[in-house]
Amino acid sequence: MAAATKIAARGVKRRFPNGVEALDSFDLDIAEGEFVCLVGPSGCGKSTFLRIVAGLLTPSDGSVSIQPRRTDRPAVAMVFQDYSIYPWKTVLANVRVGLDLAGVKKREGNERARHWLVRCGLGDFVDAYPNTLSGGMRQRVSIARALAVEPEILLMDEPFAALDAQLRTVLQDELLDLWQSDRRTVLFVTHSLEEAILLGDRVVVMSARPGRLVADIRVPFERPRTGELRGAPEFAALEQQIWDVLRGEVDRSLAKQSESAAGR
- pLDDT tens readout for residues 32-79: 999 999 999 999 999 999 999 999 999 999 999 999 888 878 899 999
Half-sphere exposure (Cβ direction) of 44: Cα atoms closer than 13 Å: 26
CA 23 to chain centre: 18
- What is the torsion angle, in degrees rounded to the nearest 10, for the CA atoms of residue 66, residue 71, residue 73 and residue 74? 30
Quote the DSSP letter at residue 211: B
Longest CA–CA separation in the chain, Å:
60
pLDDT value at 1 more than 70: no
- What is the structure's pLDDT at 133? 94
Region 136-163: mean pLDDT is 93
Other C-beta atoms lying within 10 Å of the C-beta of residue 93: 18
Determine what percent of the chain is predicted with pLDDT higher than 90. 84
> What type of residue is 254?
L
- Cα angle 90-91-96, degrees, rounded to a multiple of 5: 95
CB-based contact 5:176 (threshold 8 Å)? no
pLDDT value at 253 more than 90: no
Taking alpha carbons only, the member of 178, 181, 180, 132 closest to residue 159 is 178
pTM: 0.93
- What is the structure's pLDDT at 187? 98
Residue 232 neighbours by CB under 8 Å, 6+ apart: 221
Report residue 197: phi and psi, to 5°: -70, -40
Region 144-148: mean pLDDT is 94
pLDDT value at 264 more than 70: no
**How does the average pLDDT of the chain come out, rounded?**
93
